[in-house]
Amino acid sequence: MEHFLDISDHSPDELQDLLDLAIHLKKEYFATGNPPLFKGKVLGMIFQKPSLRTRVSFDMAMRHMGGDALYLSPNEIGLGKRESIADVSRVLSGYVQAVMARVFEHAHVLELAKWSSVPVINGLSDFSHPCQAMADALTIIEKFGKAKNLNVVFVGDGNNVAVSLMQISTKLGWNFSIASPEGFDIPAVSIEQAQQVSTGTGSRLTFLRDPHAAVKNAQVIYTDTWTSMGQEEETAKREAVFPPYQVNAKLVGEADKDVIVMHCLPAHRNHELTDEVADGAHSVIFSQAHNRLHAQKAILARLFSVA
Ligand code: CP
Ligand code: NVA
């Protein structure tokens, strides 16, 4: 594995291997602590947008395994503004052993990878959030095992998190449905790609407008903010369109009785997800957030070729 930029770049076997390793590293962490496999390694973390989970979980993943991480703020780097992305990438490659980048435009993380001589990880772009999807898959497997016939349902905006969830569901053979309002669909190119993958893995893809129809028989209901970072000027328009897509107790009650409710966080409580559901019996939002740590240790270990 050279980089970790998008779930679509990886085969089902490669993704399953990463998840198996994540399960192993998680068990090991709680039993004895992880061995210092990342000793002498530093992860450079470029952030063009705010973060709690991505920043802290990558930093702690490195520390738990004997390595270190360096936070590089938007003001310091000025990616593509103070200096070209190609130059930033070539300079950083000589200082650190891997780069994680959270960017606005997906093309920017691809450009970093193009010029980098060390592995590059996509820590969220406007197009996808592959590290989140790995933690999500780990959380789903912990709850339901490796069953193939799961119904994973995303309710809301067809955004970066939805794209990565669709990709991983399709790769792992889970059925994936999304209910989104008109104008907020998953990009057509990603849908076509997922449809091709699904012919090999047997997963069923469904695209709907009605959240109630979507959640019938769902084992997983997933939602995310109605307004992603970088779309702030559209907030009022989105707040007017999305209320029928709120994940509340009524909607959750229409799903499978063992349904889990997921959210990548940060949550805008009582907008896309009610307090009652976020803090209720079906919610796994905090174990999902904690699983970022274990999923990312596995990604780093494979990129460093140390496990
Ligand atoms: N889910 C997620 O990526 O959270 P942060 O934006 O806090 O990193
Ligand atoms: N879709 C959200 C995810 C945040 C982790 C965003 O891009 O802001």
Q: In three state form, how does the secondary structure of the chain look?
A: CCCECCHHHCCHHHHHHHHHHHHHHHHHHHHCCCCCCCCCCEEEEEECCCCCHHHHHHHHHHHHCCCEEEEECHHHHCECCCECHHHHHHHHCCCCCEEEEECCCHHHHHHHHHHCCCCEEECCCCCCCHHHHHHHHHHHHHHHCCCCCCEEEEECCCCHHHHHHHHHHHHHCCEEEEECCCCCCCCHHHHHHHHHHHHHHCCCEEEECCHHHHHCCCCEEEECCCCCCCCHHHHHHHHHHCHHHCECHHHHHCCCCCCEEEECCCCCECCCECHHHHCCCCECHHHHHHHHHHHHHHHHHHHCCCC
Using CA positions, which residue lies closest to atom 6 of ligand 2? Answer: 228
pLDDT at 146: 85
**Residue 302 annotated in active site:** no
**Residue 20 annotated in active site:** no
pLDDT at 76: 86
From the CA of 123, the nearest ligand is 1
Q: What's the 74 CA to ligand 2 centre distance in angstroms? A: 17
257-282: per-residue pLDDT in tens? Answer: 999 999 999 999 999 999 999 999 99
pLDDT at 149: 86
Ligand 1 pocket member 296 (CB < 6 A): no
From the CA of 227, the nearest ligand is 2
Identified catalytic residue from 132, 167, 219, 296: 132
pLDDT at 92: 97
Domains and CATH numbers, the chain: 7-129+292-304 (3.40.50.1370), 130-288 (3.40.50.1370)
Using CA positions, which residue lies closest to atom 6 of ligand 1? Answer: 51
pLDDT at 36: 98
- Low-confidence stretches of the chain (pLDDT < 50) are none
